[in-house]
Amino acid sequence: MIARRHLLSLLAPALAATLAAAPALLADDAPRRGLLPVSAILARVEARFDGTVLDADVRAGRDGRVVYEVRFLARRGNLLQIRLDAATGAFLDIDGHGFIEAIKPGAR
């Protein structure tokens, strides 16, 4: 488990840089579809949690709404899967161990 966390902590900066440099399809298309841009979603996640965004994707939610799924590496090495409503930015679901510890003080 420690080796996995160490590997993820080494890869996180490279993955975050790749995400930042990737073509922003959603940044251009999201507002026309009534969705928040991915930059706004990532800002919400980074404001609430201490760690690094690894990846973000858009999917159809279980109830038919559009959902951003964000993979996030918490500062202590825990991998979180965070789902947010793409239209409102509301946090819908957070999966992964240690997500309570990853919440920044004052962000609860």
Its domain, for residue 35, covers: 2-102
Strand locations in the chain, DSSP E? 51-60, 66-74, 79-85, 91-95
Judge whether 78 lies within some domain: yes
Bigger pLDDT: 22 vs 75 = 75
- The reported pLDDT for the residue numbered 70 is 97
Domain count, the chain: 1
Judge whether 36 lies within some domain: yes
Q: Could you report the per-residue pLDDT of 32-87, keeping only the tens digit for each? A: 668 999 999 999 999 999 999 999 999 987 788 899 999 999 999 999 999 999 99
pTM exceeding the 0.85 threshold for the entire prediction: no
Task: Answer for the pair 84, 91: CB distance below 8 angstroms, yes or no.
Answer: yes
What's the CATH code of the domain at 90?
Answer: 3.10.450.40
For 61, the 3-state DSSP assignment is coil
- The reported pLDDT for the residue numbered 18 is 42
Judge whether 85 lies within some domain: yes
